[in-house]
Structure 1
Amino acid sequence: MKKIGLLLVFCLTSFFLLAQDKIEITESDYANQEVEMADRFREEGKIYILTGVICIILGGMVTYLVVIDKKVSRIEKQLLNNDI
């Protein structure tokens, strides 16, 4: 009963949500060369620091996922060996 109630609530709330209005895309949008933040970072040389930090964070996340996967695989093997 709880699942049906939640399903009904989620379905009804989707009817009340509004999307953004359509905005016409112009030629200047395709040739947008005015990204102030990126230009400022490039001028000050901080763009390299930004990309380095992003790479370090992504590398850490990938390393963490690999370590977790190895631990889970080892636990799965132990469970399979104990069940037999």
Structure 2
Amino acid sequence: MKNSLRKLRPALLLLMALLLPVLHVAAQTAAANEPEMADSLRLNGKIYVVVAVITVVLAGLLFFLASLDRKLTRLEKEVRD
């Protein structure tokens, strides 16, 4: 399992390096525009539901990728032997 996490680490770091500037620009633009939808979601407390759903989806994708990597590693070892 540690081996699969080591393999995923560069990909995750690259993804973060690519997404952080985009998120920074998006945050600055959102602060300047102040969309009404975000205000209404925040006032009703539904913004937490949106954040929770996004978090669950991303966690599910990461779990799927990690399990797929483990399966592929096991198959590669079988083919080598």
TM-score range, shorter chain: 0.5 to 0.7
Distance 1:41 1:76 in 2: 48
Equivalent residue number for residue 79 of structure 1: 79
Aligned Cα root-mean-square deviation (Å): 1.8
Aligned length: 53
SS of residue matched to 2:38: helix
**Matched-pair identity in %:** 40
Q: Which residue of 2 aligns with 1:38?
A: 38
Larger Rg: 1
Q: What TM-score do the two structures reach when normalised by structure 1?
A: 0.58
> Which 5+ residue runs of structure 1 have no aligned equivalent?
1-28
**1:70 corresponds to which letter in structure 2?**
R
Secondary structure, in 3 states, of the residue corresponding to 1:32?
helix
Unaligned runs of 5+ in 2: 1-28
Aligned to 2:12: none
Moved over 6 A (4+): none
Supply the AA of the counterpart residue of 2:59.
G
Higher RCO (CA 8 Å, separation ≥ 6 residues): 2
TM-score w.r.t. structure 2 length? 0.60
Higher helix proportion: 2
